[in-house]
Amino acid sequence: MSNEHINENLQAKDFPFAKKEKTISIIEYAQNCMSTFEQLPFGPVDSLVLSQLAYMNLGCIVPGVENDDEPVFVRDLYRAEHFDALLHDVRDAKSNRKLLNALCASPRYRNIRINYFIDNIDEKLEKQFCAMTFILPSNQVYVAYRGTDSTIVGWKEDFNMFFRSVIPGQISAVHYLQTVAARLGGDIYIGGHSKGGNLALFAAAFAPQEITDRIITVFNHDGPGLSVEIQQLEEYNDVSGLVQTTVPQASLFGLIFSSGEHSVVKSDRMGIMQHDPFSWEITDNDFAYSDQLKTGANKIVFAMYDLMKTLSREDRELFIDTIFTVIASPGVSSFTEWPAMAIREMDTFADTLKNIEPEVAEKVKTVAKELVKALAKNMINLPQINLPDVNGIKEFISEKVSSINLPKKQ
Q: What percent of the chain has pLDDT over 90?
A: 44
Delimit the domains of the chain by residue range.
21-295, 300-397
Q: With a cut of 60, say whether residue 8 has pLDDT above it.
A: no
Of 77-91, 139-153, 380-394, the least confident: 380-394
> 59 pLDDT band (50/70/90 cuts)?
very high
Question: Rounded to 10 degrees, what is the CA torsion of 87, 92, 96, 97?
Answer: 70
Identify the band that residue 86 occupies on the pLDDT scale cut at 50, 70 and 90: very high
The sign of the CA dihedral 162, 163, 168, 170 is positive
The partner residues of 127 in beta bridges, in order of sequence, read 122
| Rounded CA separation 10/117 (Å) | 55
Beta-carbon contacts of 371 under 8 Å, excluding residues fewer than 6 positions away, are 303, 304, 307
The confidence score (pLDDT) of residue 387 equals: 40
Please tell me the distance from the alpha carbon of residue 117 to that of residue 86, in angstroms, as a whole number: 13
Domain 21-295 has what CATH class? alpha beta
Q: Return the pLDDT at 396.
A: 54
- Per-residue pLDDT tens digits for 272-307: 788 889 999 999 999 999 988 775 555 655 666 566
Side-chain-side CA neighbours of residue 116 (13 Å)? 23
pLDDT tens sequence across 149-192? 555 454 455 565 665 667 788 899 999 999 999 999 999 999 99
Whether the pLDDT of residue 125 is over 50: the answer is yes
DSSP-derived 3-state class of residue 244:
strand
- Helix/strand/coil for 282: strand
Residues 6 or more apart whose Cβ sits within 8 Å of residue 343: none
Q: What pLDDT does residue 337 have? A: 52
For residue 48, the model assigns a pLDDT of 98
Report the pLDDT value the prediction gives residue 380, as an integer from 0 to 100: 36
Asked if residue 354 lies in contact with residue 329, where contact means CB atoms within 8 angstroms, the answer is no
Cα distances (angstroms) measured from residue 135 to each of 37, 105, 198, 219: 12, 17, 21, 16
pLDDT at 339 over 90: no
**Per mean pLDDT, which range of 45-54, 306-315, 344-353, 380-389 is the poorest?**
380-389
Percentage of the chain lying above the pLDDT 70 cut: 60
Instruction: Give residue 20's pLDDT band: very low, low, confident or very high (50, 70, 90).
Output: low
Handedness of CA 229, 232, 235, 240 (dihedral sign): positive
Q: Which of 274, 245, 280, 271 is nearest to 260 (CA)?
A: 245
Which ranges of 14-87 does DSSP label H, i.e. alpha helix?
26-32, 44-53, 83-86
148: confidence class by pLDDT, cuts 50, 70, 90: confident
pTM, to two decimals: 0.75
| pLDDT at position 226 | 85
pLDDT tops 60 at residue 266: yes
